[in-house]
């Protein structure tokens, strides 16, 4: 019998196929004591397993490239955490086996993360994956993961670790569905980069029986269980229509009546440039430079290395716009040489610009490297600070840019509600705003972006979030300055129209989403987008806002 389930659609497209479940591990080793003379040997085994897992994660990252590489490198650093390894050694010294010591040490650290505020609690899945990989190696058993299949399938899991998501083969994995996760989780972002249809936060996903045929609509979040031939035909026709629209939409982003909306790409480094260019990106709206710093958590990259990396990206967009975000360290991106390890709630502590202002030499080196990288190039370089709270923050960043001799526009990310509410004040110090809707939603609703249980509050269609976008965009218009969106909200084609109607001046997203947004924008006039935006803001919930905007744009 055909039934319909609904989760959160996080990656466009339709997939129809049989369910295959991600293998799950029961990897709790027995608690047994070892003689004292075996402790040194067990400690050696533990260290070897940790290094092997870290090397495997790094190798997977190198194969995947782009944003996936940075996520996996962060996991490798998690595996090698010195405090964790010291705890493992202590447990072995008092009689635990290597595998049991690893299991218990990670469990203790897991409890700390889970109790350290929702932002860090969202990293528990990544930590569990690292633990399972180390314990599996010590036990000599294979690490359960993506199923072995010669036929294409839809992958279903409670959650997907980045190491699994990054290397999915799109020719075999038609789409995936998870019970946990949120629209801005690592797996969701990587799914969009792969172009694989995906739905997350689907209650009861793991209860779908192996071999059941399901249809996944990554745009609407709907899952059709045992779809009939009519439903299959309908979905396939819809997918074909979207594909045709994508093929016909080329050139710069614009509404049907010619209102220009530059469509830019979010990138993590040079490895992401080719996909952005292939998708017709008009520039870069978010260059996440923290990925460069994750190579070594104890030392900042040299100025020379930074210049080389930045220049590779800048050279790829001659006479285009490249917006670089300076290092956003802290919270889920800790760096040993920068961020404190004992904050009770790092997401609300010293993060982003706050970190850089406490370590001005790191900010100065990065700004100097950007200035040198842009020398002699016709590119339009813009540099922005993360986690700006008010005018004082904005002035401190602008002053640092000028002191470094940076010839570029200076901007501020709007991720904290105070920056949106006081946008005109912030704009007295900087030349543009860029809305990071992922964190803006997180801080507006006190809802961690990695936690599936609060995914309805992470939904960028929430009217309160749209209100903040409208306030920031109106402030920029009044000051004669630009206000873009670089958060994942921009990758939703329907929402892109609403954002345009709210007054946003550019949209930046993962490369895979650019064709969808370009094609959708080209179907509607600016006036239609403005009416859709007004209807969405008048709603009382995300679902109502989405439906209201859709009704306006479809002429209902």
Catalytic sites, residue numbers: 186, 486
Nearest to residue 202, comparing CAs of 462, 445, 3, 17? 3
Nearest to residue 495, comparing CAs of 303, 219, 275, 298? 219
CA dist., res. 269 & res. 292, Å (int): 8
First-to-last C-alpha distance (Å) of the chain: 32
Q: Half-sphere exposure of 37 toward its Cβ, with a 13 Å CA cutoff?
A: 0
Residues contacting residue 446 through CB under 8 Å, at least 6 positions apart: 118, 457
Helix/strand/coil for 27: coil
Could you tell me whether strands 506-509 and 263-267 are parallel, antiparallel, or unpaired per DSSP bridges? parallel
Q: Half-sphere exposure of 251 toward its Cβ, with a 13 Å CA cutoff?
A: 9
DSSP per residue over 57-105, as a string? Answer: HHHHHHHH-HHHHHHHHHHHHHHT-HHHHHHHHHHHHTTB-HHHHHHHH
CA dist., res. 74 & res. 123, Å (int): 11
Could you tell me whether strands 14-21 and 380-385 are parallel, antiparallel, or unpaired per DSSP bridges? unpaired
Spatial contact of 432 and 262, defined as CB atoms under 8 Å apart: no
Spatial contact of 471 and 418, defined as CB atoms under 8 Å apart: no
Phi (first) and psi of residue 107, to 5 degrees: -65, -40
| CA distance to 92, 121, 413, per residue, from 85 (Å) | 11, 21, 37
Q: Which residues of 439-458 are buried (b: 16+ CB within 10 A; e: fewer)?
A: bbbbbbbebbbbbbebbbbb
Q: How many residues are recorded in the chain?
A: 556
CA dist., res. 509 & res. 369, Å (int): 25
Query: Interior CA angle at 406 toward 401 and 411, to 5°?
Result: 55
Torsion angle defined by CA atoms of residues 119, 124, 129 and 134, in that order, rounded to the nearest 10 degrees: 120
DSSP per residue over 442-491, as a string? Answer: HHHHT--TT-GGGHHHH-TT-HHHHHHHHHHHHHHHHHT-EEEE-SGGGG
DSSP per residue over 132-175, as a string? Answer: HHHHHHHHT-----S---SS-EEEEES---HHHHHT--TTTEEE
The helices-and-strands tally (H runs, E runs) of the chain is 24, 16
């Amino acid at each position: 019998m055909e039934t319909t389930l609904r989760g959160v659609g996080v990656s466009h497209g339709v997939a129809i196929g049989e369910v295959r479940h991600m293998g799950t591990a029961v990897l709790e080793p027995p608690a047994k004591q070892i003689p004292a003379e075996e402790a040194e040997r067990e400690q050696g085994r533990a260290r070897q397993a940790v290094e092997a897992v870290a090397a495997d994660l790094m190798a997977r990252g190198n194969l995947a490239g782009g944003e996936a590489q940075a996520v996996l490198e962060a996991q490798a650093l998690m595996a090698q955490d010195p405090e964790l390894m010291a705890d493992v050694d202590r447990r072995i010294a008092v009689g635990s086996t290597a595998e049991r010591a690893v299991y218990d040490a990670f469990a203790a650290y897991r409890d700390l993360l889970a109790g350290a505020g929702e932002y860090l609690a969202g990293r528990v899945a990544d930590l569990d994956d690292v633990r399972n990989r180390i314990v599996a190696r010590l036990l000599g058993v294979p690490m359960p993961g993506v199923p072995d299949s010669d036929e294409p399938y839809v992958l279903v899991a409670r959650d997907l670790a980045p190491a699994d998501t990054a290397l999915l083969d799109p020719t075999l994995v038609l789409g995936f569905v998870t019970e946990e996760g949120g629209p801005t989780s690592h797996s969701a972002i990587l799914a969009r980069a792969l172009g694989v249809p995906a739905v997350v936060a689907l209650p009861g996903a793991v209860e779908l029986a192996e071999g059941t045929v399901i249809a996944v609509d990554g745009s609407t979040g709907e899952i059709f269980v045992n779809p009939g031939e009519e439903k299959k035909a309908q979905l396939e026709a819809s997918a074909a229509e979207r594909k045709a629209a994508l093929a016909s939409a080329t050139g710069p982003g614009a509404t049907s009546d010619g209102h220009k909306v530059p469509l830019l790409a979010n990138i993590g480094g040079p490895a992401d440039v080719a996909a952005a260019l292939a998708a017709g990106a008009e520039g870069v709206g978010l260059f996440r430079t923290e990925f460069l710093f994750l190579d070594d958590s104890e030392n900042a990259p040299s100025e020379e290395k930074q210049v080389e990396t930045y220049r590779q990206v800048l050279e790829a967009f001659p006479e285009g716009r490249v917006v670089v975000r300076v290092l956003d360290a802290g919270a889920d991106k800790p760096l040993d040489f920068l961020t404190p390890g004992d904050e009770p709630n790092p997401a609300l502590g010293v993060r982003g610009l706050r970190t850089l202002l406490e370590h001005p030499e790191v900010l100065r080196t990065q700004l100097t490297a950007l200035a040198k990288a842009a020398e002699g190039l016709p590119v339009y370089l813009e540099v922005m600070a993360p986690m700006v709270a008010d005018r004082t923050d904005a002035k401190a960043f602008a002053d640092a840019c000028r002191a470094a001799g940076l010839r570029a526009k200076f901007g501020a990310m709007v991720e904290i509600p105070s920056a949106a509410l006081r946008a005109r004040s912030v704009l007295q110090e900087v030349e543009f705003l860029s809305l990071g809707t992922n964190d803006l939603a997180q801080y507006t609703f006190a809802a961690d972006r990695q936690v599936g249980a609060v995914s309805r509050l992470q939904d960028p269609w929430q009217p309160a979030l749209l209100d903040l976008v409208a306030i920031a965009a109106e402030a920029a218009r009044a000051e004669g300055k630009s206000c873009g969106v670089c958060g994942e909200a921009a990758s939703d084609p329907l929402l892109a129209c609403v954002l345009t109607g709210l007054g946003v001046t550019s949209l930046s997203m993962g490369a895979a989403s650019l064709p969808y947004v370009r094609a959708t924008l080209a179907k509607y006039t600016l006036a239609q987008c403005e009416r859709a935006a007004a209807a969405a803001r008048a709603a009382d919930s995300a679902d109502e806002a989405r439906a209201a905007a859709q009704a306006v744009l479809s002429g209902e």
